[in-house]
Amino acid sequence: MKENLNYMKFNTKTIHGGQHHDPSTGAVMPPVYQTSTFVQTSPGVHSGYEYSRAANPTRTALENALASIENGTRGLAFSSGLAATDCVLKTLKPGDEVIAMDDLYGGTYRMFTRIYQDYEIKFHFVDMNDLEKFKSLFTENTKLVWVETPTNPLMKLADIEAIAKIAKEKKVLFAVDNTFATPYLQRPLDMGADIVMHSATKYLGGHSDVIAGALIVKDEALGEKLHFTQFATGATLGPQDSYLVLRGIKTLHLRMQRHCENGQKVAEYLNSHSLVDKVFYPGLDSHPFYNIAKKQMKGGFGGMVSFTFKSGKKEDAIKFLENLKVFTLAESLGGVESLANHPALMTHASIPEEKRKEIGISDDLVRLSVGVEDAEDLIADLEQALV
Ligand code: P1T
């Protein structure tokens, strides 16, 4: 059995964190325990595993890896990113209030406003960079602060430490969707957040072949409460998918390094293009949140780049997306291959048009998930598509 290597540095943890060789066979990689149930030698007497909704050894291996790379004590793996978010929301009661970032993945916004609002949970959406406005929204019913940073798709940033301090003073749980940054770039639990959430479909899985979600916490009692909610409501990740995400995590640091290099190059290229208006990328010194990015993102700024056209025309965005050859026009992000997306028509179509306009998701906005191909090929593809 391997000793616990959680004291090691990040790159080592992506490979070894929370892992041990399979105790029954010595298999170096955790077997895919494709079983729903486990033998009991007498009623209630078992190996620690009884039914795979409660726990499955392949999922446990992934959950231990998740806890390790985010510096938490407990990881939970879900059947999707939204299932992970849903688990947090299910801990609330009617009358509770949530303060959330005003730019969020469309599906998160849809869940908040079209599912949980009907359960009488009240949501306040605010630009978290206006800390005074943020503070003014707290009431005695506020139970949760929810932030994405960088946000999807406008790449806004929120100062995790500053928000954590306020949330702590107010004794309110603070959750960070860390999907875009990943723990390679930023570890919110170390900055005072209570919960980290991931769409593990994205960079953690890394190969666009699985839908998965994750929650990671430091506080053990909170971990137990979330595990109970997950167990009691059922949105767990299956063993095969757990294996795929675990396999992805082992190369997270290598992939992120290249995503960051390519993201920076693509952002700089677009920034100097005559047809391009605004480029949204935290690694450009013209980005309004560059200083926060430098403070809380370590080792680069990620692979997500959004931009608009000087013409402001939706048709130009569509023509560009149709022209692409190396970038694939598809929803999702964070895989090794480069993807392109039109938020208003695709990933954020569930946000009402008026609200989209208000927060800046215009019809000429394009979002790129810059992959790990050769940057020269990616830039040549953008060049031939931007006509
Ligand atoms: O798709 P799912 O695994 O359920 O994760 C939802 C989710 C949560 N948070 C963020 C920041 C996300 O980007 C997503 C999913 N996003 C896309 C599918 C997309 O193309 O933006």
Please identify every residue annotated as catalytic. Answer: 53, 105, 177, 202
CA 304 / ligand 1 centre spacing (Å): 13
pLDDT of residue 2: 52
Nearest CA residue ID for atom 2, ligand 1: 81
Nearest CA residue ID for atom 21, ligand 1: 332
Do 372 and 281 lie in a common domain?
yes
This prediction's pTM: 0.97
Do 196 and 265 lie in a common domain?
no
- Burial, 268: exposed, middle or buried (Cβ in 10 Å; 0-12, 13-18, 19+)? middle
Which residue, 187, 218, 249, sits at the end of a domain?
249
Write down the H helix ranges in the chain.
10-16, 57-69, 81-89, 106-114, 131-136, 160-169, 182-185, 220-233, 239-249, 252-271, 290-296, 314-323, 353-359, 375-385
- Identify the residues whose C-beta falls under 6 Å from ligand 1: 80-82, 105, 107-108, 148, 152, 177, 179, 199, 201, 211, 213, 331-333, 341, 347
SS3 280: strand
Please give the chain's pLDDT, 387 residues, in tens. Answer: 455 556 799 999 999 999 999 988 999 999 999 999 999 999 999 999 999 999 999 999 999 999 999 999 999 999 999 999 999 999 999 999 999 999 999 999 999 999 999 999 999 999 999 999 999 999 999 999 999 999 999 999 999 999 999 999 999 999 999 999 999 999 999 999 999 999 999 999 999 999 999 999 999 999 999 999 999 999 999 999 999 999 999 999 999 999 999 999 999 999 999 999 999 999 999 999 999 999 999 999 999 999 999 999 999 999 999 999 999 999 999 999 999 999 999 999 999 999 999 999 999 999 999 999 999 999 999 999 999
**Residue 2 belongs to some domain of the structure:** no
Nearest CA residue ID for atom 1, ligand 1: 81
Most informative mutation of 103, 105, 241 for ligand 1 (most atoms within 8 A of CB): 105
**Residue 58 belongs to some domain of the structure:** yes
Nearest CA residue ID for atom 13, ligand 1: 105
Most informative mutation of 199, 204, 332, 366 for ligand 1 (most atoms within 8 A of CB): 199
Do 230 and 279 lie in a common domain?
no
Is 277 within 8 Å of 312 (Cβ atoms)?
yes
**Residue 136 belongs to some domain of the structure:** yes
CA 212 / ligand 1 centre spacing (Å): 10
Phi, psi (degrees; rounded to nearest 5) at 361: -85, 85
Which residue, 215, 249, 283, sits at the end of a domain?
249
Helices (H) and strands (E) in the chain, counts: 14, 14
CA distance 162 to 121: 25
Which residue, 204, 224, 249, sits at the end of a domain?
249
CA 215 / ligand 1 centre spacing (Å): 14
Do 267 and 234 lie in a common domain?
no
Q: Residue 266: which of 346, 378, 164, 107 has the closest Cα?
A: 378
What ligand 1 atom has the least distance to the C-alpha of 148?
Answer: 11
pLDDT of residue 246: 98
Most informative mutation of 111, 182, 201 for ligand 1 (most atoms within 8 A of CB): 201
Number of domains in the chain: 2
Do 116 and 232 lie in a common domain?
yes
CA 363 / ligand 1 centre spacing (Å): 20
pLDDT of residue 124: 98
Do 240 and 188 lie in a common domain?
yes
Q: Which two tokens stand for residue 34?
A: 């494709």
What ligand 1 atom has the least distance to the C-alpha of 85?
Answer: 8
pLDDT of residue 3: 53
Do 167 and 256 lie in a common domain?
no
What ligand 1 atom has the least distance to the C-alpha of 108?
Answer: 8
Do 148 and 265 lie in a common domain?
no
**Residue 1 belongs to some domain of the structure:** no
CA 179 / ligand 1 centre spacing (Å): 8
CA distance 311 to 78: 42
Looking up residue 165, the CATH number of its domain turns out to be: 3.40.640.10
Most informative mutation of 82, 202, 207 for ligand 1 (most atoms within 8 A of CB): 202
**Residue 269 belongs to some domain of the structure:** yes
CA 5 / ligand 1 centre spacing (Å): 31
Do 173 and 242 lie in a common domain?
yes
pLDDT of residue 1: 40
Do 281 and 244 lie in a common domain?
no
pLDDT of residue 4: 58
Strand 142-148 to 97-101 pairing? parallel
Question: For the residues of 161-200, what is the DSSP string, one character each?
Answer: HHHHHHHHHTT-EEEEE-TTTHHHH--GGGGT-SEEEEET
**Residue 3 belongs to some domain of the structure:** no
pLDDT of residue 7: 78
Nearest CA residue ID for atom 3, ligand 1: 81
Domain that holds residue 150: 10-249
Is 157 within 8 Å of 163 (Cβ atoms)?
no
Looking up residue 339, the CATH number of its domain turns out to be: 3.90.1150.10
Identify the H or E element spanning 97.
Answer: strand 97-101
Nearest CA residue ID for atom 19, ligand 1: 332
pLDDT of residue 170: 98
**Residue 359 belongs to some domain of the structure:** yes
**Residue 4 belongs to some domain of the structure:** no
Do 150 and 266 lie in a common domain?
no
How big is the chain by its Cα radius of gyration, in Å? 21
Do 199 and 310 lie in a common domain?
no
